[in-house]
């Protein structure tokens, strides 16, 4: 819907846009790598950069069949990003199902001289 009047009309009628299942990944790091490097590292995700130079968000529209599949995807993302991120970086991963509900959520961190993220 591109017309704001249509959105308002649908809102009054109680019509909701369909939800698309997605994985959301939030990155908090002392020094965020350049956007080009982040996009290249995860080409299957859309990258969003807030105003803070320490944050980034990634979204991938994909259905997950289980929590195990979701955790596996989070581990994959963490392994891809880890080499380019300094210690004290954090990842928060969430899965929104096709009803718009957050079904799964995990947090990972990279501490000290660790080269990898670990589940918190």
Query: Is the pLDDT higher at 22 or at 14?
Result: 22
pLDDT in tens, 20-76: 999 999 999 998 999 999 999 999 999 999 889 999 999 999 999 999 999 999 999
pTM: 0.83
Looking only at the bridges linking them, the beta strands covering 118-119 and 55-61 are unpaired
CA–CA distance from 20 to each of 4, 79, 105, 108, 118 (Å)?
A: 21, 26, 17, 25, 28
Q: How far apart are CA 61 and CA 96, in angstroms?
A: 9
Q: What is the DSSP string of 25-52?
A: EEEE-SSPPPHHHHHHH-TTSEEE--SS
Length of the chain: 120
Domains of the chain: 19-119 (3.30.70)
Q: How far apart are CA 69 and CA 81, in angstroms?
A: 19
**Distance of alpha carbon 107 from the chain centroid:** 11
């Amino acid at each position: 819907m591109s017309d704001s009047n249509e959105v308002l009309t649908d809102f009054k009628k109680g019509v909701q846009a369909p939800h698309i299942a997605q994985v959301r990944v939030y990155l908090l790091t002392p020094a965020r790598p350049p956007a080009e490097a982040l996009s290249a590292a995860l080409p299957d995700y859309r990258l969003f950069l807030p105003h803070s130079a320490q944050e980034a968000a990634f979204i991938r529209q994909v259905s997950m069949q289980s929590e195990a599949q979701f955790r596996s995807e989070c581990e994959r993302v963490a392994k891809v990003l880890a080499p380019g991120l300094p210690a004290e970086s954090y990842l928060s991963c969430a899965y929104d199902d096709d009803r718009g509900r957050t079904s799964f959520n995990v947090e990972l961190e990279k501490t000290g001289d660790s080269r990898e993220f670990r589940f918190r």
